[in-house]
Amino acid sequence: MSIAVTTQLICFSILSLIIIVGSLGVVLLESIVYSAFLLGGVFMSVAGLYLLLNASFVAAAQVLVYVGAINVLILFAIMLVNKKEDLKPIKYLNSRKLISSTICITLLSLLVRVDLTDTWIIADPKLSIGEESTIRLGEHLFSDYLLPFEVASVLLLMAMIGAIVLARRDVLSEDISTGLPVDQELIEKSDKPLLTQKK
Amino acid sequence: MTNGLDLEFSFNEALKSFGVPSEIAHIIWLPFPMLIVLVAAVVGVLVTVWLERKISAAAQQRIGPEYAGALGVLQPIADGLKLLVKEDIIPEKADSILFTAGPILVLVPVILSWLIVPFGQNLLISNVGVGIFLWIALSSIQPIGLLMSGYASNNKYSLLGGLRAAAQSISYEIPLALSVLAIVMMTNSLSTVDIVEQQSGAGILSWNIWRQPIGFVIFWICALAECERLPFDLPEAEEELVAGYQTEYAGMKFALFYLGSYINLILSALLVSVLYLGGWGFPIPVETISRILNIPIDTSLVQVITATLGIVMTILKAYLLVFIAILLRWTTPRVRIDQLLDLGWKFLLPISLANLLLTAGLKLALPKFFGG
Amino acid sequence: MKDFFQKVNSYVKEAFGASKYLFDGISVTFDHLKRRPVTVQYPYEKLIPSERYRGRIHYEFDKCIACEVCVRVCPINLPVVDWVMNKETKKKELRNYSIDFGACIFCGNCVEYCPTNCLSMTEEYELATFDRHNLNYDNVALGRLPTNVTSDPTVKSLKELTYLPKGVMDPHDVSPSDSRVGKLPEEVLDWMITSKSSEEVPVGK
């Protein structure tokens, strides 16, 4: 076994260990903040796996999108919402557990079966395109995968418009709880800058 | 185009002549560039800190550090030593694991990004194909570290600082990436080496700053925002947030933040010089000089001189930008958070999109000047 | 459409204006890099405060009519005017007057509004004491003549920035005969008289 192969094997086992332990931690840990940070770690390790597969562009994109955007947004949401709620006992907990574990085990067995029965075509490492994969990715995205690409972007656009509609808040003229007029002085208008306004 | 100095090749050849197999030679070689770049980064930070203090003093008619070494050059080292021997305090109610992991997560991606900074044709750690994209991806990890340390400090100022830092770096990452994209479109490559080579045709005239003036400005503004330099230093605004996410930190952990922010500044300056100011290129191309002086460019002495000149040029350009950043620090007042987000989303983002569109159009119209 | 272009135009103009201001600011900062620090060796050298320097307040007890205008115009109602009504003469009788310079911000409002000009600003600025209560000046302390930098033989008095010739920053290398920027009050008076007479000549004819 050459040094390169050994290094790869060590890296692969470490990364897989992190992914498995990390994702278990994401699900099982009590603290939601820890779960979110562990999720970031899991995403990073997945990026590491992509690197091992010679897909450096996909790895970088994984880090940028999943760690840099999605995970940060999850953390943001967690840190901005600190509403404390008392945990209520869930009804039919045992039957729920039973149903979900059955579904999970079925899915796992399906995956294992696919893994065992499929004949995996292992590409010749000499034919690996390496750095050219970026170009190949772009070609695919704008030719045969154009429709899914555009559909995904439309989906994101819809999500964004939805978020804007939800977050948009017109200035209220009176306080909802007390019914008193709101102090409009503190709302800066474009033609009346706050600093120069005098009364 | 010559290949220039290739230290790795020479090193491996030398080891092979001693009968070392090439694989082992490669492994022995690997730590060298990393160590050198790490040392270079830390020395760069020391120099920047000294420059910052001296230039700030000059801008305010003070003298600045003067007792530690000649002209106070040893002052940053004294600062570093002080931080090194200071007590490492973890607040009682803080989350000690996240509190410790935060500064590490802030520093590591910044140092990793030095992987792609070229000081010459072969004078970089790794000419990875994703190049500049790797830097953008790595710099997006930093907000997680900031959020982590802000949350773990269990302090409202820290949390607010961390949230501000994360919001700021997310919103300025987009125009930054778009202005880099315009450069990448002209180069047809993400690799930093290719980006510099594409600018090396006619010396100073072929630098990207002439072809991408808008992109240059956008990139520099965004880089300042990412580094939390003064017009955009809201995350650690003293008057409002004590010191932002660094409030509870002391000793070496604080030093990691300090180091991280300065390494990030130098890195951004280096990348501006690579992307827009021709990287290691001399204002007059070296090939032209050697042709005029009638010296063959392949001789080893000329190669060593060229490589040294390249390193000096890269660092000189970077430090010029650091100087501008320091001047800006004492010129501009801090923006408010709404102004910051306004500038990012309503000004820089549309402008950078327009710049991208313009670049694409010019690339189609004038493929000779804007990369075919 | 026209409206849109107008908007774009003003937007671009604003952006360019902002960058111009930024550039102006940087050039000012850059200009400051050239200036060297000027050190005044304080206890041995002292700057002469400018004419409108707002130092310790001087008070003349005899002029005061105890009207309390100074108290009313003071941001924190600081001056203490201790008077009693004399029933026989039906006049105010001033007993004591004090200002606490530990709390005073030297805004000069009291000086501005005093109807009898019994308050005035001095150029005395060395008010340091070992106890903050010593800063509470009564009418005797307020009535003392201010110390003067130029009359102290142990101190080398230096010209302040307003007294220096144009372009000079360091007071050390200025000779006493060098005139300051702009005109002195008497020169302004001369200029006003001459310009007025030259103006009036055609009108008079």
What distances in angstroms separate CA B145 from CA A61, A92, B90, B159, one per listed residue?
19, 40, 17, 12
Ranked by mean pLDDT, which of B139-153, B155-169, C103-117 comes out on top? Answer: C103-117
Is residue B1 over pLDDT 50?
Answer: no
CB spacing of B23 vs A56 below 8 angstroms: no
Pairing of strands C57-59, C136-137: unpaired
* Interchain CB contact of C31 with B (< 8 Å): no
- Residue of B55, B331, B347 with shortest CB distance to C25: B331
- Residue of B129, B136, B144 with shortest CB distance to A75: B144
Residues of B in contact with A63 (CB under 8 A): 137-138, 140-141
Q: Where do runs of H (alpha helix) occur along A81-177?
A: 93-117, 133-141, 146-167
Instruction: Indicate whether this complex's ipTM tops 0.90.
Output: no
- What is the rounded average pLDDT of the residues C37-52? 86
**A181: which DSSP letter?**
B
- What is the rounded average pLDDT of the residues B216-221? 91
Residue C99 to residue A36: CA distance in whole angstroms: 62
Residues of A in contact with B134 (CB under 8 A): 56, 60
The amino acid present at B364, given as its one-letter code, is L
C121-166 pLDDT, tens digit each = 998 888 899 999 999 999 899 998 888 888 888 888 888 888 888 8
pLDDT of res. C205: 41
Which chains, if any, share at least 3 CB pairs under 8 A with chain A?
B
Is residue C99 over pLDDT 90?
Answer: yes
Interface of B with A (CB under 8 A): 23-24, 27, 98, 128-130, 133-134, 136-138, 140-141, 143-144, 147-148, 150-151, 159, 162-163, 166-167, 170, 173, 190
* Sequence-distant contacts of B72-76: CB under 8 A, at least 24 apart: B75/B49, B75/B50, B76/B45, B76/B46, B76/B47, B76/B49, B76/B50
The pLDDT-based confidence of B97 (bands split at 50, 70, 90) is confident
* Interchain CB contact of C32 with B (< 8 Å): yes
Q: Where do runs of H (alpha helix) occur along B63-116?
A: 75-85, 96-112
Mean pLDDT check: name the lowest of A167-176, B117-126, B181-190, B256-265. Answer: A167-176
Is residue A80 over pLDDT 80?
Answer: no
Give Dmax (Cα) for chain A.
Answer: 83
* Preferred mutation among B127, B140, B187 to probe A, highest tally of A CBs within 10 A: B140
* Interface size between A and B, measured as CB pairs under 8 A: 75
Residues of B in contact with A2 (CB under 8 A): 23
Q: Where do runs of H (alpha helix) occur along chain B?
A: 7-17, 22-29, 31-59, 75-85, 96-112, 131-139, 142-152, 156-187, 192-198, 208-211, 213-226, 238-241, 251-275, 286-293, 300-329, 337-341, 349-365
- What is the rounded average pLDDT of the residues A24-40? 87
Residue B280 to residue B306: CA distance in whole angstroms: 9
